[in-house]
Structure 1
């Protein structure tokens, strides 16, 4: 059975069981601060389990894209070394929200596996929760055990501990016992030797869990206690790739048709043969897995970057690159070439791959190119570390610096050292790594109390589209503590005019006022699992009273101007640059807007001017807001509304229209484009391959911009004796400056030539080396030219030049002939780093040329005196 048929069979089966089949949610989370990525099938339905939303139907089935590379669920380092762990995987799931429970979940799972997929019952084992004697004091799940006895012999029903058979969403939230279904695909000979039940949950590659049936019946509170949920839910997850392995009768997920097309392409590109060399096989598995994770992340709107979720994606891709670099001998970009075969294989089930194919290829290729340059640079730096080391064990601190600052992989460092007969101080490296993790953990650590509920069963209503003020009641609150913000309180109201951060738009600020005149400031508003949360520094004194909630109208208005401007900008880009332009991200603040979009080249000055004019014509046209709320998604799309990749839309949506600009959007907007006043682009540049970014301002910010520019113009004219033609006057000054620079350059060249003759006469021969340490009066460029000029004449030169271009500035330059550096192990970088301490500074460079800077010119005589010590 092919993978496409396996997926379709699962979804059709549950559709026949009256489940609503829904598409996979985007893998990148939007309003759940506890997750970077969807890491389980239940994550997109979290709000329903928490009681913060109502599902379209009480029975749902899907195939959800998941990524496990950070936090509690982190399989990254195991990927490639075994046959069944992945970064990206599909989770086939069926869900019941307060509808059916254990009886139906178990019966249908057994029916699908044994009667539809025809899996032999004799290779299956199931587990049930055995209970716990800890603080929870939970009893064994006898209900599940008794149900399973109807389908499978008791000797194949295993009792599992809390770690394996009690599923929890996190430290808080819905949880419950679970039953896992395991499959034993070992050969008959292996089964005869070892009983399969002894290998369940023992990480055996061929006795693996394929389906987990979670029976959500408890809620974990912040104090660690459990309480019964008012409604019981079913949450199941079956690993699609593992299921394919079983049904296609192979011994590895990588031998299924999910991966084999990618692996064959890697073989072709790298001229290797999978299955012949263990290290190459590991590299091939790593790459075939990681390209899927990166491609799907980019398709869902998450580009590689240096922070947050983007850093995780960059790390995954770099891991793939270094495995190709090290074990497949690929020194040029090639992973981007795998996107084509991936798209052909999975594009039908996940159309976002087809739609974003070119962008995905461009981004991956640029990231590969950039990291390969990093590897080249790292190899040079590592050579310098090796050359300066006085022992055969390389410092873990130095290796960590190479890893942390330059992104050079530690395993590649260890491999190179091993090849050179050297070792790495692994303990020292681990100490530095742990220090970094502790710093990072401390910075991000958050503790959250349980909700204190004041009003039961109240569904929050957002009225902020129509009103900036309302009478509200606080329905619940909790305290949140973090290192970044200290103690904060989160408040939930029965209704709210405050817009929560989302769709690129910042959350509203404002205040609460009670009947006694006491004011409490709302510092931010966010949405978490479908609940609008208001952040304050303190709790109100009269928490059970009615409050007057007021949004900061000035900030909201400025933000609305910028948000509407992003819609007009999007329209302008598509009209002027082409319909290939798609929004790839935005940030809408009260002071500015940022808009990321797909485009293949830098915008010209004429294009930027045309875009500005396009937007400002629509501002001048005073286009009214035409808003459609709660309309069917299909109707909105039919009316011409644009939907964005990576966004999660419901059955009903809100459409925003200004003239011919129509977009699906939940943000707030001005009532008329004339309110924006004016639009001004401040900058345009690249974010990634094929992604550009425009930053712009509107309204008051434009007024301030023009005021500052006008003030600067008057100051310039004043400096130019109030000339009426300041541009012409500046041009004259530029021409004069250019002419003077040329004269100075020539004078410095002449000075350096004269100095070169003097220096030759001052050279001392020490141990066969032509040596000189002296102070010179040249700029950095002149010193470099002088050093390299002398280097052409001498093969055994060791120079140290010092200069003091200012009272509080000292510069050192060390030049050593390459032959000398290589033969005797001299290292210019080490020389300037050590001598730089004497001028209260530091520096570095290569073994033959390096520079250092400091703020203590008084240390120069001591530097010149000690330089000779390197030759003695």
Structure 2
């Protein structure tokens, strides 16, 4: 059975049980500060489990793209080493929100596996929560009794809290779970040891296949449990493992989920995959590398398709780390020194775009981004190899310090295991303990900076919130429904408030959250410093809790900041339209940042946008502003109708059945942000910069409204100042051009004079050389610039053999040192000009470097030049 059929059968089975089939949520999470990536199928449904929203249907089913590479669920270093761990994987699931519970979940799971898929009942085991005395949790007898009616009791395993009590985090909904495990060992192996004894023992052929979670409790901040008002079912079955079972193979990588990628890697790298070889064998390392690359290209491709580009921070750093791990394995074990992983995107797209069409739509972007990242990291590896060689040369003994290795890892991104491998090949050891100490210090610093502790929500008012009313109102009378205290290392002590309704826009769609204040009946004012959305709750951040928390408060949005943000947000829509009109319809938004000061817009395009094209974009947007186009808003239009009418939907966003569509003239997009009522309110649009941020991704930064007015005011003042300096000439450009031409002519005259001066100086200096140990030595302060000193040094070196020259000079109250050494001396005497100037640079409070035969150093202490020259002679001893 092909994987595509396996996936479809799962969804159709639960559709027959009155479940709605829903789309996978994006793998990159936008509105949950506790997670970077979707790491479980239930993530997109958290708001239903938490009671923040009411689902349209109490039964749903899906296949969810998941990524487990950070935090509690981190499988990264195990990927490739075994046959069943992955970074990106699909989680098949069925869900009940306060509808059916354990009986249906257990019976349907067994029916699907054994009757629909035809899995042999004799290879299946089930586990049930045994209870936990430390929390007064009883054994899950209900689940046990349900299973006992289906399977022999000797196939039911009692599981501890670690294995059979599922929690989404330190706080929130949780409950006992019942797992289904499969034993894929040979009949001979089964006679030696029961599969029951190998469940949850990390055996590669006795693995968990399905987890049925019964959400019954809520974990509070103090660790205690309280019963949820409604009981839910949350199940997750690993798609890749299911394919392994149904396709009769012993490894996820032997299924048709991975074999097309593996075959392509073999072809491109001229390598051979041996599925039976141990990772410790030479060919086993090759097979591990192939598994790593096949897995990681999926994770990276799906992340980019969902809008997350590799970068140096946050989720982007995680994606870059995954890709670099794949590149490193190819570099080390497949001997690939040129980019090749990007070529696998074609195979992946053909294989999975039916289930996930975003791969096909974003194929060009994914391919180009991966290729550029490969090229960049391969250059890093080359540079790292040179740096590592220098570390080895300067190492006393045969152990390289962990601190040096960590610097190579942290500053230059050079992988530590590659460092250890190269050191071992050259007879050196790595101080692994020292490296781990440095790594732990870095982790502690990072953890301390981001550490946040949140208390339980204190509920003041029952019921559901009306939500956001800020499209129509910038003030509202509100009551606090719930609040909690949050303490973070970064921001200190804060309070999070949820109102029964709010005019404050929560951060989303690239637009920052509103700020403002609360008017309290006693006359106090409490400032709202930020607004965010978390699991469908609009949360307002304050430094102080209103004293009259049970009274009606007046919420007031900062009008100036909202107006500026709205102006910038509308401008991003108009610019998007302009870019698609001028550059082509291949342009797609890849990210944005809209705040009161300026806007940033990232988009797909494969060339630098020329000045002429940028001017066209500016003119296009400003023409729409001059037309004074009114806002046309449809708040509850169906998604399909909006798209049919021409609305642009963004990849990586999760849309519901009904959406909000924003139109200004011919520009129409799905958007939840705030906008001006008329494009005339924007006043003017001005592009400040255009740059590349990744292969095929460009970034434009621009300003509107007050910022544009201030920009032109500053430019006007600067222009008037230039005119004043030029004695108020009528044509400042012509005057400046004339000055530039005159300056060029004078520079040439000065250069000629300096050359004559150096020529005359050369004759004087040739008589001042000292012979020391067969070397012609000169250390002298001269009145030349850096170019003159270099020319003089090379001319003398061409006329006198075996020279060692150190020149010092003072320019613009700064110090300059240079060192020239005849190339034959560099080899014979092992003297390095770069090392000389670095060490002499301490006398002038500076540093420098260069080639072994010529190097320069600059410093801020001219008084140290003489001392540096005096100490130059020591290198000839």
TM-score with structure 2 length normalisation? 0.95
Q: Which residue of 2 aligns with 1:224?
A: 223
Residue range with higher mean Cα deviation, 780-789 or 449-458: 780-789
Where does residue 29 of structure 1 map in the other structure? 29
Partner of 1:546: 552
CA-CA distance at 1:844 after TM superposition: 5.0
Cα deviation, residue 457, structure 1 = 1.9
Task: Measure how far apart 1:855 and its partner are.
Answer: 2.9
SS in 2 for 1:496: coil
Cα deviation code 1:792-838 (max 9, x no counterpart): 7789665544443343x334445566776667665555544444444
Within the alignment, does 1:840 sit opposite 2:845 as a pair? yes
1:510-549 mapped onto 2 (5 Å cutoff): 510-549=516-555
Q: What secondary structure does 1:515 align onto?
A: coil
Q: CA offsets per residue over residues 721-766 of structure 1, 9 Å max, x none?
A: 1101101001111112222233334444455555566666555565
Q: Determine the C-alpha separation between the residues in 2 that align with 1:593 and 1:295.
A: 27
The answer to whether 1:863 aligns with 2:864 is no
| 2:283 maps to 1:260 | no
Partner of 1:154 in structure 2?
153
Measured at CA, do residues 719 and 159 of structure 1 come closer, stay the same or move farther in structure 2, by a change above 3 Å?
Answer: same
Structure 1 residues 541-566: Cα deviation after superposition (integer angstroms, max 9, x where no partner): 11111111111111111111111111
Tell me, what secondary structure is at the counterpart of 1:82? coil
Matched, 1:647 2:653: yes
Structure 2 CA distance for partners of 1:605 and 1:77, relative to 1, 3 Å: same
Aligned to 1:308: 314
Per the TM alignment, residue 459 of structure 1 is displaced from its structure 2 partner at its CA by: 2.2
Seen in structure 2, the aligned counterparts of structure 1 residues 784 and 396 have a Cα distance that, compared at 3 Å, is farther
Alpha-carbon distance, 1:840 to partner? 3.3
Q: Is the 8 A contact 2:686 2:703 kept in 1?
A: yes
Residues 218/738 of structure 1: CA separation in 2 closer, same or farther (3 Å cut): same
**Distance in structure 2 (CA, Å) of the matches to 1:349 and 1:534:** 38
Distance (Å, rounded) in 2 between the aligned partners of 1:824 and 1:431: 39
Relative to structure 1, the CA distance from residue 759 to residue 359 in structure 2 (aligned partners, 3 Å threshold; closer, same or farther) is: farther
Other structure's SS at 2:40 match: coil
Contact 1:388 1:830 in 2 (8 A): no
Question: Which segment drifts farther, 330-339 or 762-771?
Answer: 762-771
Distance change (3 Å), C-alpha of 1:176 and 1:716? same
1:470 aligns with 2:476: yes
Shift in Å at residue 424 of structure 1?
1.7
Q: How far did 1:493 drift?
A: 0.4
Q: TM-score, normalised by structure 1?
A: 0.96
Give SS of 1:495's match.
Answer: coil
- Mapping for residues 164-313 of structure 1, pairs under 5 Å: 164-275=163-274, 277-313=283-319
For 2:454 and 2:38, locate their aligned partners in 1 and report how far apart those are by CA, in whole Å: 21
Aligned CA distance change for structure 1 residues 715 and 469 (closer, same or farther; 3 Å): same
Q: For the structure 1 residues 796 and 222, does the alpha-carbon distance in structure 2 shift closer, same or farther, using more than 3 Å as the test? A: farther
Q: Which residue of 2 aligns with 1:400?
A: 406
* SS of residue in 1 equivalent to 2:478: strand
d(CA) in 2 for partners of 1:410 and 1:820?
36
Report the secondary structure of 2:479's partner residue: strand
Contact 1:387-1:825 within 8 A present in 2 as well: no
Contact persistence 1:166–1:176 (CA under 8 A): yes
500, 505, 509: which one pairs with 2:515? 509
- Cα pair 1:460 1:531 within 8 Å, conserved: no
Rounded to whole Å, the distance in 2 between the matches of 1:243 and 1:824 is: 68
> Deviations along 1:845-866, whole A, 9 cap, x unmatched?
6666655443333333443344
Residue 686 (structure 2) aligns with: 680
Which residue of structure 1 aligns with residue 90 of structure 2?
90
Contact between 2:521 and 2:548, CA under 8 Å: does it hold in 1? no
Shift of 1:295: 0.6
Q: Distance in 2 between matches of 1:280 and 1:761?
A: 65
Measure how far apart 1:132 and its partner are.
1.6
In structure 2, runs of 5+ residues without a counterpart are: 278-282
Aligned to 1:67: 67
Q: What is the alpha-carbon distance in structure 2 between the residues aligned to residue 475 and residue 816 of structure 1?
A: 78
CA 1:671–1:751: 2 relative to 1, 3 Å: same
Q: Distance in 2 between matches of 1:188 and 1:867?
A: 80
- Residue 804 of structure 1 aligns with which residue? 810
Counterpart of 1:658? Answer: 664
Q: Matches of 2:728 and 2:637 in 1, distance apart?
A: 61
The gaps in structure 1 that reach 5 residues or longer are none
3-state SS, counterpart of residue 7 of structure 1: helix
Change (3 A) 1:609 1:774: same
Equivalent residue, structure 1, for 2:280: none
Name the stretch that deviates more: 387-396 or 476-485: 387-396
2:856 and 2:164 map into 1 onto residues whose CA distance is: 61
Q: Distance in 1 between matches of 2:563 and 2:783?
A: 59
Which of 356, 362, 366 is equivalent to 2:362?
A: 356
Give the corresponding residue for 2:331.
325
**Alignment correspondent of 1:104:** 104
- In 2: Cα distance, 1:454 partner to 1:707 partner: 50
Q: Distance in 2 between matches of 1:112 and 1:846?
A: 70
CA displacement 1:240-273 (0-9 Å, x = unmatched): 1111111111121111111111111111111111
CA distance in 2 between partners of 1:846 and 1:145 (Å): 75
Give the distance between the partners of 2:432 and 2:799, measured in 1 at CA. 44
Give the deviation of 1:56 after TM superposition. 2.2
Preserved CA contact (<8 Å) 2:589 2:650: yes
Which of residues 410, 425, 446 is equivalent to 1:419?
425
Distance across 2 between alignment mates of 1:210 and 1:759: 84
For the Cα contact (< 8 Å) 1:795–1:819, is it kept in 2? no
SS of the residue corresponding to residue 462 of structure 1 reads coil
- 1:18 aligns with 18
1:618-637 counterparts in 2 under 5 A?
618-637=624-643
User: C-alpha deviations, 1:671-730, integer Å up to 9, x for none?
Assistant: 111111111111111111111111111111111111111111110000001101101001
* C-alpha contact 2:216 2:230 (8 A) present in aligned 1: yes
Specify the alignment match of 1:568 in structure 2: 574
Query: CA 1:387 to 1:468, structure 2 compared with 1: closer, same or farther past 3 Å?
Result: same
Residues 864 and 423 from structure 1, CA distance in 2 versus in 1: closer, same or farther, beyond 3 angstroms? Answer: farther
For residue 447 of structure 2, what is the aligned residue in structure 1? 441
- The structural deviation recorded for 1:138 is 1.6
Q: Which moved more, 1:852-861 or 1:333-342?
A: 852-861
Map Cα deviations across residues 218-250 of structure 1 (whole Å, 9 max, x no partner). Answer: 111111111110111111111111111111111
Contact 2:52 2:464 survives alignment (8 Å): no
Give the length in aligned residue pairs: 870
Between 465-474 and 842-851, report the one with greater CA deviation.
842-851
Q: Which residue of 2 aligns with 1:39?
A: 39
C-alpha distance after superposition, 1:557-602 (max 9, x if no partner): 1111111111111111111111111111111111111111111111
Change (3 A) 1:758 1:132: farther
More divergent stretch after superposition (397-406 vs 533-542)? 397-406
Matches of 1:763 and 1:418 in 2, distance apart?
A: 47
8 Å Cα contact 1:388/1:825 also seen in 2: no
Cα distance, 1:606–1:385 mapped onto 2, change above 3 Å: same
Is contact 1:795-1:820 (8 Å) kept? no
